[in-house]
Structure 1
Amino acid sequence: MFIFQWLNNQLLKMEWLSNLIKLLVENVFGLSVQERIGGSIHFFIYDVIKIFILLSVLIFAISYIQSYFPPERTKKILGRFNGISGNILGALLGTVTPFCSCSSIPLFIGFTSAGLPLGVTFSFLISSPLVDLASVLLLASIFNWKIAIAYVVVGLVLAVLGGTIISKLHLEEYVEPFVYGNKSADVEQEELTVKDRLAFGKEQVLSIIKKVWLYILIGVGIGAAIHNWIPESVISAILGQDKWYSVLIATFVGVPMYADIFGTLPIAEALVAKGVGLGTALSFMMGVTALSLPSMIMLKQVVKPRLLWTFFGLVTVGIIIIGYAFNAFGYIFI
């Protein structure tokens, strides 16, 4: 147990890095980390470096595994399953695809055009931006393992239930016709060598880092501001655990934004540190990642309004329920 705790603190929470940044701020910049400016600088540098290190390592590892499951092979695997088993598999597949909501839509189109059940593709579409293996470790590094695992479980449950309900509603006619007409050739992909897989992992790291670096900097910057500059009384007045509407506000404030989970985690971290309920912070994070306005605009190009609003409503209600549940029982995980 002691060894696990030490590894968790040093490898995930990177306490060694926090101590190094503290020395830098105090001895080089001449600032105290207990004061606002010094604390903000420490929070920003530490979180940025930690997230980029973890993100790079995790994306590389996930991409290496993912190289064994190219789209054509994935379609064949998913095509063998129907009903709830297909929804579960679609949701699980989303956990190994480190994409934001907008990046997931082209895969959604590909799976739908390949003839996969609509419910399965929507389970994938919900889980892909919401839950992935990298987010599990990042959540554990910021909060703890119990919160990380609980978040993954509720995210997968939301994806499976959302896809199942859409399947039961038989909304296939509300997918734009060109999606079904966009058939892809079933081409067998050449077997990759270890060198190819390593190159693929490196390419994925660079590609995803290029897409998310700005959102990470913005997210950590906002987190640093909340953590050190906005009084706790102000945040509590709006999003305090005693406010019944805090989850609703957090969810709908997150929708117009566009970021992935890596950019929203530092904000959630700072909110919880200021006394905001765990469920409220997670609702904000889930609203940003699963229901961002840009992704809704992109999805509108491939599905008709009834299906779009059904998807939006199901996910929104699910996030709100999850938020209130975590606020009510969050003490179990902290």
Structure 2
Amino acid sequence: MKDLSLVPPSRASTILKHLWVKEKVWLFSAGLLAVLFILAPPFGITTARFAAQNLLNVAPFLALSVGIAASAGATGADGLIARAFTGSPAAMILIAAVVGGLSPFCSCGVIPLIAALLAMGVPLSAVMAFWLASPVMDPSMFVLTTGVLGIEFAIAKTIAALSLGIFGGFVVHALSRAGGLSDPLREGVGNGGCGGAKVRTAQPVVWKFWRDTARVQKFWRESIKSALFLAKWLTLAFILESLMLAWLPADLVARSLGGTGIIPIGIATLVGVPAYLNGYAALPLVGGLIGQGMAPGAGLAFLIAGGVSSLPAAIAVWALVKRQVFFLYLGLALVGSFSIGVLFQLWATL
């Protein structure tokens, strides 16, 4: 980095402005850690380790999705992949929801893959179906849910994941047909924001792209660009997650979700969206609350809402897509989670 004391004032101002505009997320994360290290060094160390460990955990998913997206661009297969998702919208939504329910992604870990899919031009309806279903359930989560909350709750959570994905996919499809939600990605994300409604002009696919210097350069350029973009937002998300886990008392959550009826389901939905709880860590808490009289519908609503859109994941989504898509995503998570909770509660009382 340049020594700004040796740079003319006008040039130094330009450099600082460039750093703030282009790297403000990194600067904010670094500043937040610096404040923690100064005011509470042990807590700062714990937060830094937490963020680093979670980045390490998500790194395989990050590397895989970045590699897939960059390879698709370098080979010219991105348009081919996009056209593969332009068949029957209903079939694509159903398939995406099922695949999402079987994939081992958490709400933050799914973000890199979503970025790759949208950048390749996959229709937003199919992506939303995958997006909503993926963080809620996977095979290992099913087994653990069965052990903690019982087979009926695990089956209900699986059905909820698929239903939420299908519901969100068809809502997005209807809005897209009405002329909305074009170009969902923010400017500068992926390939500049290619919407799912666009089908790219057919180009020859060069699978052995490493034999072409220009394609290899494009591969590395896109890989670095995507990796840095996703890494900076995930870093901030994990730092905030650490702060929430440390400062959000577990007993406060328990008191807020106690009781029976529809109101606790609504509270569980609203609390579940911003309050980040790892899906695996949340199961024992919900199991204990249900044992103390918490409505099963409230427990399921809390798990669904928290799994789909925790605050750290929402921040990453905000950086990824345009504002209207972001609010639609949150709205689908809220309405879907609440509705699922109410239906499960009605079924449990029969």
TM-score range, shorter chain: 0.5 to 0.7
**Other-structure match for 1:91:** 97
Task: Report SS of the residue matched to 2:152.
Answer: helix
1:322 to 2:340 alignment: yes
List alignment gaps of at least 5 residues for structure 1.
Answer: 1-62, 190-211
User: Does structure 2 conserve the Cα–Cα contact (< 8 Å) formed by 1:175 and 1:303?
Assistant: yes
User: Does structure 2 conserve the Cα–Cα contact (< 8 Å) formed by 1:78 and 1:89?
Assistant: no
**Other-structure match for 1:128:** 134
The structure-2 alpha-carbon separation of the partners of 1:144 and 1:328, relative to structure 1 and needing over 3 Å to count, comes to same
Question: For residues 109-154 of structure 1, what are the alpha-carbon distances to aligned partners after superposition, in whole Å with 9 as ceiling and x for unaligned?
Answer: 1011112111111111111111212211111111222221122112
* One-letter code aligned to 1:89: I
Question: For residues 192-212 of structure 1, what are the alpha-carbon distances to aligned partners after superposition, in whole Å with 9 as ceiling and x for unaligned?
Answer: xxxxxxxxxxxxxxxxxxxx9
User: Does structure 1 conserve the Cα–Cα contact (< 8 Å) formed by 2:268 and 2:299?
Assistant: yes
The structure-2 alpha-carbon separation of the partners of 1:138 and 1:311, relative to structure 1 and needing over 3 Å to count, comes to same
**Other-structure match for 1:304:** 322
Question: For residues 57-111 of structure 1, what are the alpha-carbon distances to aligned partners after superposition, in whole Å with 9 as ceiling and x for unaligned?
Answer: xxxxxx9xx9xxx776995896364301101111122123212111111101101
**Other-structure match for 1:270:** 288
Output aligned runs, 1:32-181, within 5 Å. Answer: 75=81, 79=85, 81-170=87-176, 171-179=181-189, 181=191
User: Does structure 2 conserve the Cα–Cα contact (< 8 Å) formed by 1:95 and 1:131?
Assistant: yes
Question: For residues 26-63 of structure 1, what are the alpha-carbon distances to aligned partners after superposition, in whole Å with 9 as ceiling and x for unaligned?
Answer: xxxxxxxxxxxxxxxxxxxxxxxxxxxxxxxxxxxxx9
Q: Distance in 2 between matches of 1:144 and 1:181?
A: 45
Aligned residues: 233
Task: Report SS of the residue matched to 1:253.
Answer: helix
The one of 297, 301, 318 equivalent to 1:279 is 297
Q: Distance in 2 between matches of 1:80 and 1:237?
A: 44
The TM-score with structure 1 as length reference comes to 0.60
Q: Distance in 2 between matches of 1:139 and 1:123?
A: 22
**Other-structure match for 1:259:** 277
Output aligned runs, 1:11-26, within 5 Å. Answer: none
Q: Distance in 2 between matches of 1:257 and 1:188?
A: 44
User: Does structure 2 conserve the Cα–Cα contact (< 8 Å) formed by 1:241 and 1:327?
Assistant: no
The TM-score with structure 2 as length reference comes to 0.57
Question: For residues 243-287 of structure 1, what are the alpha-carbon distances to aligned partners after superposition, in whole Å with 9 as ceiling and x for unaligned?
Answer: x31011111112222233112111111111111011101111112
Task: Report SS of the residue matched to 1:129.
Answer: coil
* One-letter code aligned to 1:316: L
Taking only the aligned residue pairs, the percentage that are identical comes to 26
User: Does structure 1 conserve the Cα–Cα contact (< 8 Å) formed by 2:273 and 2:334?
Assistant: no
Q: Distance in 2 between matches of 1:326 and 1:92?
A: 20
**Other-structure match for 1:248:** 266
Q: Distance in 2 between matches of 1:124 and 1:112?
A: 12
**Other-structure match for 1:35:** none
* One-letter code aligned to 1:309: F
RMSD, aligned α-carbons: 3.8
User: Does structure 2 conserve the Cα–Cα contact (< 8 Å) formed by 1:235 and 1:276?
Assistant: no
Residue 178 of structure 1 and its aligned partner are, at CA, apart by 3.1
* One-letter code aligned to 2:123: P
The one of 239, 244, 262 equivalent to 2:258 is 239
**Other-structure match for 1:58:** none
Q: Distance in 2 between matches of 1:82 and 1:262?
A: 35
1:292 to 2:310 alignment: yes
User: Does structure 1 conserve the Cα–Cα contact (< 8 Å) formed by 2:257 and 2:298?
Assistant: no
Q: Distance in 2 between matches of 1:132 and 1:279?
A: 20
* One-letter code aligned to 2:135: P
List alignment gaps of at least 5 residues for structure 2.
Answer: 1-60, 195-202, 209-237
The structure-2 alpha-carbon separation of the partners of 1:165 and 1:276, relative to structure 1 and needing over 3 Å to count, comes to same
Which structure has the greater CA radius of gyration? Answer: 2
Q: Distance in 2 between matches of 1:326 and 1:235?
A: 20
Residues 274-283 or 250-259, more deviating = 250-259
